[in-house]
Amino acid sequence: MTTKRTHRWWRWLALALGLVVVVGGLLFWPTNRYIEVPGSAESLKPYVTVDQHKDTEKGAYMLTTVGVIGPASPALLLWSKFQPYAETMSKQELMGSDTSAEYDLLQRYYIQSAGTNAVVAAFKLAKRPVTVNQLGIYVMSILKQSPFKGKLQLGDTITQLDGRRYASADAYIKAIQGRKVGSRLTLTYTRQGKVHHASGKLMQLPGTHKAGIGITLTEHTTVKTTPKVAIDAGDIGGPSAGLMFALQTYTLITSQQLRDGQLIAGTGTIDAAGQVGQIGGIDKKVVIADKTGAKVFFAPDEPATKAILKVDPTYQNNYAVAKKTAAAIGTKMKIVPVRTLQDAVDYLQNR
């Protein structure tokens, strides 16, 4: 009798332990999947200062973010199936070939570049003097087949091609693509303040007949203005805050009352000329802006041309997606299409 009871007790214990292992795996075992969800809509007042003075006027411009959960457990992946604005993706789809640390570093460089471009665009629109110092071009990502893989790192700044400097990232790219595939090129670059050199044969860029180095590049510049503008986004990364950084800067340096005491949200990359570019996850950004109480949402409006669709057949115009999302959630928030910083300022001045 005692033996039977002992066996039964061990059987129940084994079942209980097995159940704990299964539940623990469902809740905590990391998969190779990530989940994108609506993130946050945050006032830019703490992030942008002019001559160390912050914005004290009523209302606020808000940058909007997408939240990333992961690596997600099986339980979180199941939960995401019941969330209307949650999207799952693999690590490769989210980060490419980058490690998590490289991806985080890349996002920081993107937002630094966005802040620099925003200041230049705002001062140009306000017709205020601005001096841009071209330091070179940031290395933002490196293809596996790049001849400079293992030589350059994310965050390096390329300053010369075969000993020659260029005035912009476009000029560097044109100079590289003007050469023949297989020709040798020596790059001069800086890393942590030290100068280095690396040589390699130019590769054929995927999907083209052009020569390249297999590296994604962006401008590495510093800006000098009067008054002095400082942008510090903290832990937020990525390029999509550019438009809202520019609006905040423009409002402060011109002392205009453009918000009418309201919360104004939006998203979009920006270049130094004030052109607004497409971003990802705009449906999630519309959702979080609405929940935060925004009255206006600026959305990049870059129509799907034949050239764009040839490169990306799945391309969807940000403004169109934002309008569709706004209708689906029943928001009264006004969705405003913008192609330039000027478009956003004109809307605020004339509404």
In whole angstroms, what is the distance from residue 318 CA to residue 277 CA?
Answer: 9
Instruction: Look at residues 247, 292, 242, 249 and name the one whose alpha carbon lies nearest to residue 267.
Output: 242
Reported as a pLDDT band with limits 50, 70 and 90, residue 1 is very low
Q: Is residue 240 among the annotated active site residues?
A: yes
What is the percent of the chain with per-residue pLDDT over 90, rounded to a whole number?
A: 54
Q: Evaluate if residue 190 carries a pLDDT over 90.
A: yes
Mean pLDDT of the region 115-126: 96
Q: Is residue 285 among the annotated active site residues?
A: yes
In whole angstroms, what is the distance from residue 124 CA to residue 303 CA?
Answer: 25
Q: What is the pLDDT of residue 6?
A: 59
Q: What is the pLDDT of residue 191?
A: 93
Q: What is the pLDDT of residue 303?
A: 85
Strands 263-266 and 296-300: parallel
Asked whether the bond before 71 is cis by omega within 30 degrees of 0, the reply is: yes
Mean pLDDT of the region 308-322: 85
CA atoms in the 13 A half-sphere facing the CB of 106: 19
Give the helix ranges, DSSP H, for the chain.
Answer: 2-28, 74-80, 91-95, 100-125, 169-177, 242-254, 282-292, 306-311, 318-329, 341-350
Q: What is the pLDDT of residue 18?
A: 60
In whole angstroms, what is the distance from residue 44 CA to residue 209 CA?
Answer: 43
List pLDDT tens digits, range 152-174.
988 899 999 999 998 888 888 89
Name all domains of the chain by residue range, CATH numbers in brackets. 33-101+226-350 (3.30.230), 133-221 (2.30.42.10)
Q: What is the pLDDT of residue 27?
A: 53
In whole angstroms, what is the distance from residue 127 CA to residue 313 CA?
Answer: 39
Partners of 297 in beta bridges: 265, 335
Reported as a pLDDT band with limits 50, 70 and 90, residue 74 is confident
In whole angstroms, what is the distance from residue 203 CA to residue 211 CA?
Answer: 6
Q: Evaluate if residue 7 carries a pLDDT over 80.
A: no
Looking at 127-255, which runs of residues are DSSP E strands? 130-142, 157-161, 184-191, 194-201, 203-204, 211-212, 215-225, 229-231
In whole angstroms, what is the distance from residue 88 CA to residue 98 CA?
Answer: 18
Contacts of 336 (CB under 8 A, 6+ apart): 266, 296, 297, 298, 299, 344, 347
Partners of 30 in beta bridges: none
Q: What is the pLDDT of residue 22?
A: 53
Q: What is the pLDDT of residue 12?
A: 65
Mean pLDDT of the region 23-42: 78
Per the prediction, the chain carries an average pLDDT of 88
Mean pLDDT of the region 21-43: 76
List pLDDT tens digits, range 259-304.
999 999 999 999 999 999 999 999 999 999 999 999 999 999 988 7
Q: What is the pLDDT of residue 56?
A: 86
- Which member of 113, 240, 284, 295 is catalytic? 240
CA atoms in the 13 A half-sphere facing the CB of 10: 6
Partners of 158 in beta bridges: 137, 189
Which two three-digit tokens encode residue 269?
């990359």
Instruction: Look at residues 271, 238, 344 and name the one whose alpha carbon lies nearest to residue 120.
Output: 271
DSSP 166: -
If one compares 142 and 249, the residue with the highest pLDDT of the two is: 249
Mean pLDDT of the region 324-329: 97
Q: What is the pLDDT of residue 344?
A: 98
- Which member of 73, 80, 113, 285 is catalytic? 285
In whole angstroms, what is the distance from residue 94 CA to residue 100 CA?
Answer: 10
